[in-house]
A and B are shown apart, each in its own frame.
Chain A
Amino acid sequence: MPSTRTGIKWIRPPAKLAQAIEQYGDKVLTALVAVAQRSADLMQNDARNNAPWTDRTGNARSGLFGTAEADFARHVVTIYLSHSAIIDYGVYLELAHGGRYAIIMRTVESHLPELQSMLDEIFG
């Protein structure tokens, strides 16, 4: 005698599935933040090592800093690489003399393939 009951039998209810997807999203964002911070650290080290100017005080070189910031609500992760706020001639180093002493964009661009590769590993 066939069963008269038809329909879908949920092994795992949709509510739990939605919860799992949300948790997966949080895990991905956490992994992204870790990758972004790692990338920011590498950029900072490279920028300090490769900055083309001749040091006078060393403040400009040691003031180069990289960091990452996550906005979980907006699902945005930002990587920063910047001159120190107390180095008021950072813009001069980046733009004057046809960019001969620029370091920020060169460093960011040189790290994009590595960043892309790390992101590929997260998203498979």
Chain B
Amino acid sequence: MITAIYNHLHGDSELLATLTGGVWLGYDVHEIARQNTPAAFDGNKEILPCALLQPETATPWGPNRDSGRLYFVLYLYQRFGYGSIEAARKRIYALLHRQILVPTDGSGCYEITHSNDLLGLEDSALDGAALITSRFYAVIQRK
């Protein structure tokens, strides 16, 4: 399911035009860092506006034995200011909230729902880069 979400975001040209440092999947890169995601940094090693999709928790949910929830978070980074990642946050909401995606692993998806956003943060591990987090959950059929 998380791959389907990543593919959906990564396939959106409007989002990629805003996030010039790319959209990354936590399963692949673990975190945004100069070693792990060099394309997320410019020639001066400064971070470009970018996003990291991290799966968070998977739990059973609802009356059906195989139904569950998958919680995931998007970490949005920008070197200074929030203009690009604020636009990206809104675009991601439009792309995911109340959407049904077809998972690549054969499981089912009922709907993705927006949960919460944390605005105006800073990430001290990335030299104080501006940070926004956007949390969603997908109601899924587990297989």
Contact = CB atoms under 8 A, between A and B. Distances in A.
Interface of A: 92, 95-100, 102, 105-106, 109-110, 112-113
Contact of B54 (A92, A98, A110): A98
Interface in B48-79: 52, 54, 56-57, 59-61, 69, 71, 73, 75
A92 B75 contact: no
12 contacts: A92-B125, A96-B123, A96-B125, A97-B30, A98-B31, A99-B75, A102-B56, A105-B71, A106-B57, A109-B59, A113-B59, A113-B60
A99 B56 contact: yes
B73 A110 contact: no
B133 A95 contact: yes
Contact of A100 (B30, B61, B118, B131): B30
A92 B122 CA distance: 10
A99 B124 contact: no
B13 to A, nearest CB: 24
Contact of A95 (B26, B30, B69, B131): B131
B135 interface: yes
B31 A100 contact: yes
A96 B54 CA distance: 13
B87 interface: no
B59 A98 contact: no
Contact of A109 (B54, B71, B75, B131): B71
Contacts of A102: 56
Contacts of B126: 96
A79 B17 CA distance: 41
B94 interface: no
Contact of B32 (A92, A98, A106, A110): A98
Contact of A98 (B61, B75, B118): B75
Contacts of B71: 105, 109
A99 B29 CA distance: 13
B4 interface: no
A124 to B, nearest CB: 15
B1 to A, nearest CB: 15
Contacts of A113: 59-61
A105 B135 contact: yes
B40 to A, nearest CB: 11
A86 to B, nearest CB: 19
B52 A98 contact: yes
Nearest to B61: A113
A111 to B, nearest CB: 9
